[in-house]
A and B are shown apart, each in its own frame.
Chain A
């Protein structure tokens, strides 16, 4: 995908695995989201053909985990797990540690 604006609520899927994410919050501007070294595609768009997971990417996107960039201006939720490392403009994203509260409801 060309660089695109990221909006809270929008969904992207990996072009190389089953992984899917939902944007929780995003900085202003245009960015490229990647998974396994290949640009992710917007919710309903078809995945490009002939692309493959980057060699040596042993990463795995885990369902229910939140992924953030270094300053946490971008946060996404993995809604479906799959292979590949998530990235924003080529920089790998990290898992955000949940601020879990004692179960209150």
Chain B
């Protein structure tokens, strides 16, 4: 079992179909396979143990993913936003490596024995070789992809995804060659994100054209969608928010007649954003996809019918599902309490998943699965009576106040309901009496005002007194990473 099979099949079945469109450059599926063959020969000749990519999105990303698989070494995309010391430390961990990058990023790299730096343009124009076609490896346990976690709590961990994890995800959830001739998908998450990798694999297996943009900017995204008649898209919630803001600002129709399906994930979607997006794009099917790096991407989806049913319903139990991440896909899912007891509907606890796509494994730390194969996602959440999953933040973010577990999410939702509040983050602060106390950082809307007592009163009225932030500070903006994930560890520092 090897993910190179995915490209092999697409090239066999729809070799003439466009696989990648980026600027003026085009690759058909047959050309993509040919490029991957050439790259695999170069990688093999280099004796590298890893294929690393330090670059924005370009055709080099899908080529490198499949070339690494043909060559039988793991693919490691690196975060080009890291600092110079961070990058060099990661590269040391993957040497000897075949490292594809651009002059701009190459400047950040210290020379290192065993690391062959290959310019992207050279990588894209490798000559044909006489080397025999690579024999696709059949070891399902071989590592296909290694992704470094963002390392918010320490040194980045190297999450590994084996060929069997990724193949079972793709084969189990995507119908081969299911894309129509004219379909095209635009994915604007960076290549080092699991969603960027799974998008390449899913699109190739579906034989769907991939439209590439170097980065995300709302206006450019809309223009690319129109120009390439994009039918499918994947965005993180922050990007949808930017598109909604842009369309509202210019008060024009979205004018995306070809767009049929828009999937989002990678962070919490604000209710108001998805509601606005659905009303701006009434003809589009929205899907919320919840997944983790360690689970080979998506494990639960809230599909288009669920979105519409929730938006139209007057029943609060159905209406609130717009804030759910849907039902488990090809995995089993359980909610457990801190002692490991499986909880029932509406009981909040820790989310555990199990299934062949779940790797749950880090290179140094080993497998995190329990004896029965369950992986602790470290996400908190609960299921409703019909099995819809609602997430409630990371377990690391829970505030333990006098033995009581308090989830920041519910307090943030109440604070955000205040008309003057633009953004809110609730974190733990040290407290002599309770161990931890509740603290909140607030961003007010331009020109709006609200005082501390008023916000405390709001929380007290809607929740209970233990949830009331004992300290509230006002800020100009809250810190987010480039994919819109809030950096709570930075906010916590304001309360120490």
Contacts and interface: CB of A to CB of B under 8 A. Distances in A.
A98 B70 CA distance: 26
A43 B1 CA distance: 12
Given A11-B138, A64-B175, A105 B301 contact: no
A101 interface: yes
A22 B164 CA distance: 12
B139 A9 contact: yes
Given A10-B138, A43-B138, A79-B9, A102 B172 contact: no
A72 to B, nearest CB: 12
B175 A105 contact: no
Contact of A105 (B5, B163, B195): B195
A98 B168 CA distance: 12
B57 interface: no
Contacts of A80: 9, 12
B199 A100 contact: no
Nearest to B189: A105
Contacts of A23: 1
A100 B173 CA distance: 5
A99 B168 CA distance: 12
A79 to B, nearest CB: 6
A101 B303 CA distance: 8
A23 B168 CA distance: 11
B171 interface: yes
B8 interface: yes
B298 A100 contact: no
Interface string A27-68: 000000000000000011000000000000000000111100
A102 B474 CA distance: 41
A104 interface: yes
Residue among A10, A22, A100 having the largest count of chain B Cβ atoms under 10 Å: A22
A9 B289 contact: no
Given A9-B164, A22-B1, A105 B234 contact: yes
Nearest to A44: B135
B interface residue count range (under 10 / 10 to 19 / 20 to 34 / 35 or more) = 35 or more
Contacts of B1: 8-9, 22-24
A105 B170 CA distance: 11
B177 interface: yes
A105 to B, nearest CB: 5
A73 interface: no
Main SS class of interface, B: mixed
A43 B172 CA distance: 23
B263 A102 contact: yes
A100 B187 CA distance: 20
Interface string A74-88: 000101100000000
A10 B1 CA distance: 7
A103 B232 contact: yes
Contacts of A103: 174, 185, 202, 206, 232, 261, 263, 287
A103 B285 CA distance: 10
Given A79-B5, A103-B287, A105-B289, A98 B175 contact: yes
A95 B320 CA distance: 38
B265 interface: yes
Contact of B13 (A24, A63, A66, A105): A63
Task: In the A-B complex, list the 9 residue pairs whose CB atoms are closest, starting with the nearest.
Answer: A64-B176, A104-B289, A9-B1, A9-B140, A102-B303, A9-B138, A102-B287, A104-B298, A105-B199
28 contacts: A9-B2, A9-B163, A23-B1, A24-B167, A63-B12, A63-B176, A64-B176, A64-B177, A64-B205, A66-B171, A79-B8, A79-B12, A80-B12, A98-B172, A100-B173, A101-B330, A102-B285, A102-B304, A103-B261, A103-B263, A104-B234, A104-B265, A104-B287, A104-B298, A104-B329, A105-B187, A105-B195, A105-B265
Interface of B: 1-2, 5, 8-9, 12-13, 135-136, 138-140, 163-164, 167-168, 171-178, 185, 187, 195, 198-199, 202, 205-206, 232, 234, 261, 263, 265, 285, 287, 289, 291, 297-298, 301, 303-304, 329-330
